[in-house]
Structure 1
Amino acid sequence: MEQTTGTQRADGPGQEADQAGARPVLFCCTHSTGEAATSLALAGELARRGVPDLVFAADENLRGPVEEIADRSAVEFVSLGPVNPALALTMMDDATYDRIYQRSRVRALRARARQLFDVDHLLQRYQALDEVVERVRPALMVINRFATHAVLVALARDIPYVITAPCLLSSLVEHDLPRGFPPPSSGLPLRRTLRQELDRIWFRIGVGSLFLDRSVLRRAVRLHKRMGELGLDPRTLRAPVQQEGARSLLCFTVPGVDYPLPVPDRVRMVGALVPPSRHDERDAAVTEWLDAHPSVVYVAFGSVTRMTADQVRSLVELARRLGDDHGLLWVLHRDQQRLLPAELPANLKVVPWVHSQLGVLEHPHVRAFFTHGGSNSIHESLYFGVPVLVRPTLVDQFDHAVRAVDTGIGLTVERPDRIDVDDTHGRLLRLLHEPGFADRAREIGQVQRSAGGLRVAGDAVLMELREASVPTPSA
């Protein structure tokens, strides 16, 4: 198994590191860049503090990002193998992508389960990580909530672990929601019409029947059998069991974004993980363009979204409609830029990537964010008081869209599968000219800053590390 170290470990890393204990902290997450972002931010925070013996185990695609976060201490990267193209939404063929992104949320979830439930991959990652743990012998594991293989290793080896959750509180505690609460990924509001209540019932039936799908059921039976052969308890696959075994759960949201819910004792809501430095010199041209445009709509639909030719043309027309009063900064993947027309409006800037979305959202000229509604994007936008227009296409993005409307921090488009220029233009003008949206976004941003974000999350991990490193008295 290939291993590399970004830099030599720092000598004399400081008081915080000395108090933390000598045994390693092992970070684990999936290949997804969105899910990995918070794990990288948290590992980077400990590296800035000089905490020694930081190890990050993940798919090969995260090697570069992990090596970039080395600071006062290094972060050792351990590859668990290449990304499985069948499990990466960015690498799937168009037919599979279309099935997962179809309009029916129940059928989309069923297609997602069929595609992403891979027994061999899960157990390969489990065994690869188990070898890493045997060598590293961590005092504490910090595990993204979707890294099931890592939780299985922690439970099997009785290693203390913290779960990190970049999501709404309701998504984290979906197994224990109050009666009548909208099911996660349904995109339904708390107060519902009769039609929406029928939709809620149908959605719950559809989700509950996922494991009745023959393909999914066969894999579930096979997984239980294989786990038994490895001496693993199949019950540890259940989210309540995994959360019960965690020392704490760090949830990167704050009250006011989701509908009101009781917060379990072990859950710490800390808000978006925003580092002290938000600017990347590689974005200098973007910053210069933002400086020159007093009012900007920022458009980014995440690393997974595939735009059609009609959608690209509609967004270009949207920029024309905004005219000289508002610039539009659009992150469009390089391979999709071939769909752009030869002539673009003067107020439109198209880039394939921004290295720091936080630096863009923090810019005082950015006044609205047209987004797919991923959890990181929503919470980062709110941190800087920028209202959102949400175009949801998958799972929890629908929930963020309806929460944006109900909490007053944004709006959502009528038809996510297409971009209606008239509708989208009208909604953006409301965000740009009605002060209530920005006022409410700034209010939640203040709540996020008060929650502590990255600083408090780092403190929580170090506290768990100290407790985990204290020797247990012999009987």
Structure 2
Amino acid sequence: MESTRRPVLFVSHPESGLLNPLLVLAEEMSRRGVEDLHFATDDNRRDEIEALRDDTPVRFVPLGPVVPEMSAVTWDDETYREVTQRSRFKAHRAVIRHTFSPVARIAKYRALEKAVEEIRPALMVVESMCSYGYELAITKKIPFVLGVPFMPSNVLTSHVPFAKSYTGPGFPVPHSGLPYAMSFAQRIANQLFKFRTLAMFMTRELRERAALDQQIRDDLGVSREAAGFMSRIEHAEMVLCYSVPELDYPFQVPEHMRLVGTMVPPLPQAPDDGGLQDWLSARESVVYMGFGTVTRLTGEQVHALLEVTRRLGDRGTHVLWKLPAEQHHLLPDRGELPDNLRVEKWVPSQLDVLAHPNVRLFFTHAGGNGFHEGLHFGKPLVVRPLWVDCDDQAVRGRDLGVSLTLDRPETIDVDDVLDKLTRVLDEPCFRALAERFSRLLHEAGGRERAADLLLQLPAMRDDREARI
């Protein structure tokens, strides 16, 4: 009798912004009692994967230590400054130069290939930035689903001219931070962004790197079908995007893309939160300030944000600030902190915080997850964009009326920040529009809809079900 075993293998880079939505989906599959779940990522995420047990276990598949070229949190300060500079094209170029490292992925591909030979997955679910994941799936002809933690246009728009794109020629290029309705100068800048990206790959440095990349692909046995920016889209059984059409600019998505909204687990996610929910409940108006795991603030920027907090206190507004532990040395002594401020090195669940009714505004870098999580809970935003997709989310949020973006994000001007925060807090339209998008994101179905779609794929049906 033929086995009906249907292993599912999730694959992701270890960065929280990329990994977390797949963790939610894997846990939902476990909650439904789906057997034979596996999750492949870097060694530093072992504990989180092994904790994903609701009804059935999710087995951790180690892919080795974090590779510095592939992980923004490990970059030195000079690299960080290059990839977060305010020139959007130069930042885009710096990200490509620092992440396009053919040699760095060899060990990952080999480790995943070994795991695939042992697990023999019926289906792979691969995060969209994880090239070795979808390349292996295409090469081995394993059905795979692509998970996208960005706006849909981010993976459907070409960065270069003359290449296939699911959006029109005048659509804003990803990472450009340009709006849909462009001035003449912006339309020129948009086209130049594409041509400059193409020219970048014609430089000697990147031509040599591309040649090495092809040699490594050949040595690894990667199929030529896996080459190209759109191969991950065209070969996927389904593309799961954690957004809704209304949050992006208008265009026609491919039929196999499903927009399922924000990936949120059942809440409360962390009931034992050290009294944080009680603190929020005791305050009528709270600004939640959190800029993700990659942002590195300077001492001057930290002190500017402390001054903003003091001034917010004059109007009875409190601030909850998630500031990474390695930046706490920039704070003054605890006795010198504003009375209306609570600083945490880590919050047990950002989602629990955003869900609290007393949190009235999310001050964020507008990464893909944070942008959608804030709106999922109906919170308007003030945005200090960090890099790459953050500028794209920021301009869409502004155009949709759910957020304002700092005029000078690189310096954190106190008056600028205070102006944006107070406007979003005081003008009801921001909250009303954020609540509209909250309804749309909830209606899209989130993790439950995503799990339904996975289980409906032919790869997940046994032979008896397929014959019915």
* Matches for 1:87-126 after TM superposition, within 5 Å: 87-126=70-109
In the alignment, is the contact (CA less than 8 A) between 1:113 and 1:216 conserved in 2? no
2:330 aligned to which of 334, 339, 344:
339
Give how far 1:285 is off.
2.4
CA contact (8 A) 1:21 1:465 kept: no
Q: Is 2:382 aligned against 1:389?
A: yes
Residue identity in the other structure for 1:232: V
In structure 1, the partner of 2:188 is 198
Matches within 5 A, 1:122-141: 122-141=105-124
Q: What is the CA distance between 1:123 and its match in structure 2?
A: 2.4
Are the aligned partners of 2:123 and 2:460 in contact in 1 as well (CA < 8 Å)? no
Alignment deviations for residues 71-130 of structure 1 (CA, whole Å, 9 cap, x no partner)? 100000010100012332111111111111122222222221221111122222111101
Q: Residues 293, 451 of structure 1: CA spacing in aligned structure 2 closer, same or farther, 3 A cutoff?
A: same
Distance 1:254 1:74 in 2: 31
1:37 matched to which residue of 2?
20
Distance verdict in 2 for CA 1:263–1:87, change over 3 Å: closer
How do 1:353-372 residues align onto structure 2 when only pairs under 5 Å count?
353-372=346-365
1:47-66 maps to which residues of 2 (within 5 A)? 47-66=30-49
**C-alpha distance in structure 2 between counterparts of 1:104 and 1:207, whole Å:** 14
Task: Give the whole-Å Cα distance in 2 for the aligned partners of 1:239 and 1:201.
Answer: 18
Structure 1 residue 409 and structure 2 residue 402: aligned?
yes
In structure 2, the partner of 1:144 is 127
Of residues 81-90 and 227-236 in structure 1, the stretch that sits farther from structure 2 once superposed is 227-236
Q: Secondary structure at the match of 1:86?
A: helix
Structure 1 residue 187: Cα displacement? 0.4
CA distance in 1, matches of 2:382, 2:55: 39
Q: TM-score, normalization: structure 2?
A: 0.94
1:308 is aligned, of 295, 298, 310, to 298
Partners in 1 of 2:463 and 2:274 — Cα distance? 47
The 8 Å contact of residues 10 and 39 in structure 2, kept in 1 or not, is answered as: yes
Q: What's the counterpart of residue 252 of structure 1?
A: 242
SS of the equivalent of 1:38 reads: helix
Query: Structure 1 229/85 Cα, relative in aligned 2: closer, same or farther at 3 Å?
Result: closer
Q: 1:443 aligns with which of 436, 451, 457?
A: 436
The one-letter code matched in structure 2 to 1:72 is D
Decide whether the 8 Å contact of 2:325 with 2:345 is kept in 1. yes
Query: Is 1:224–1:234's contact at 8 Å kept on the other side of the alignment?
Result: no
1:214 aligns with 2:204: yes
- Deviations along 1:356-380, one digit per CA (max 9) or x if unpaired, are 1110000000000000010110111
Please say if residues 43 and 65 of structure 2, whose CA atoms lie closer than 8 Å, have aligned partners that are also in contact.
yes
For 1:281 and 1:25, how far apart are their aligned partners in 2?
Answer: 30
Within 5 Å, give how 1:236-315 maps onto structure 2.
236-315=226-305
> Is structure 2 residue 364 aligned with structure 1 residue 374?
no
Name the TM-score, length of structure 1 as normaliser: 0.92
Contact 1:114–1:215 (Cα < 8 Å) also in 2: no
Aligned-residue offset at 1:23:
2.0
CA distance in 2, matches of 1:359, 1:469: 38
Answer whether contact 2:285 2:360 (CA < 8 A) is retained: yes
Total equivalences in the alignment: 454
Asked whether the 8 Å contact 2:408–2:416 carries over to 1, the reply is no
Summarize deviations over 1:288-347 as a string: whole Å, max 9, x none: 211111100100000000000111001000001101510011110111111112201100
Give the match for residue 430 of structure 1. Answer: 423
Structure 1's 153 and 22: CA in aligned 2 closer, same or farther, altered over 3 A? same
Maintained 8 Å contact 2:173/2:194: yes
- Unpaired segments of 5 or more residues in structure 2? 158-164
Render the CA deviation track for 1:391-446: whole Å, top value 9, x for unaligned.
11200100011001100111111112111111111111111111101100110110
Q: Secondary structure at the match of 2:70?
A: coil
Distance in 2 of aligned mates of 1:417 and 1:434: 26
Letter in 1 for 2:415: D
What is the deviation of 1:466? Answer: 5.0
What residue in structure 2 maps to residue 6 of structure 1?
none
> 1:126-170 deviations in whole A, cap 9, x for unaligned?
111010000000111011111111111111111111111111011
Give unmatched runs, 5+ long, in structure 1: 1-19
CA 1:213/1:235 → structure 2, altered by over 3 Å: closer, same or farther? farther
Are the counterparts in 2 of residues 368 and 389 from structure 1 also a CA contact under 8 Å?
yes
The equivalent residue for 2:162 is none
One-letter code aligned to 1:369: F
- 440-449 or 175-184, which moves further after superposition? 175-184
For residues 470 and 116 of structure 1, the distance between their equivalents in structure 2, rounded to whole angstroms, comes to 42
Please state how far the C-alpha of 1:236 moved relative to its aligned partner: 1.0
| C-alpha displacement of 1:449 | 0.9
